[in-house]
Amino acid sequence: MKKLLFTTVLALLCLGLYAQNTDEDAIKKACIAQHDAWMQRNITALAAINAQVPYSSRYWATKDGWIGAVNGSEQINKVYADVIGKNPMPRMATIERTNWQLKSLGANYYWATFDFVSTGGDGKVNRQKEARLLEKMGGEWKMVSVITLPSPN
């Protein structure tokens, strides 16, 4: 009886760890897919990975001091369409994401942060801190809030 109880508890713990790792892999893939869609200038893919809800948000700042803040999926989609319309050519860069910090906020929400470094074809290096709030919708992780801040050199 003790062996059966021990085996059952061990199996449940393993299953829980597997589920968490599966979600964490999916979170990372969603964050990467969102950025890849942006770099490819793919407005359809961006809309698919971003939560299409009125409580979504997108915040960013640049080293030049420019700050942007947009709330609601309709406004976010409009900003993406405007920027992509003005700069439709896909961007080429070498990307590195490190220092992933992932925190489950329950069954349907995850908080993710990571360091982001891109090196453009011209050799220009861009370092950022990225933060994401994701919500599981229809079995897929969607970006609810995206925050991008420049990293100090």
**Rounded average pLDDT over 109-124:** 94
Integer CA distances (angstroms), 127 to 83, 118, 123, in order: 21, 7, 13
Mean pLDDT, the chain, rounded, equals 87
pLDDT of 19 higher than 50? no
- Whether 126 and 75 have beta carbons less than 8 Å apart is answered as no
Residue 9 has pLDDT above 50, yes or no: no
Residues whose CB is less than 8 angstroms from the CB of residue 52 and which lie 6 or more positions away in sequence, other chains included: 73, 77, 142
Mean pLDDT, rounded, for 96-117: 96
CA distances for 54 relative to 57, 62, 72, 73, angstroms = 9, 25, 4, 6
Query: 31 is written with which tokens?
Result: 């964050």
Structural domains of the chain, ranges and CATH numbers in brackets: 2-150 (3.10.450.50)
Residue 116 is predicted with a pLDDT of: 94
Q: Output the pLDDT for position 21.
A: 66
Q: What is the pLDDT of residues 43-87, one digit of tens each?
A: 999 999 999 999 999 999 877 777 789 999 999 999 999 999 998
Q: How many angstroms separate the CA atoms of 116 and 97, rounded?
A: 5
Residue 28: pLDDT band (50, 70, 90) is very high
**Which amino acid, residue 42?**
N
Task: Tell me the one-letter amino acid at 113.
Answer: T
Radius of gyration for the chain, computed over Cα atoms and rounded to the nearest angstrom:
18
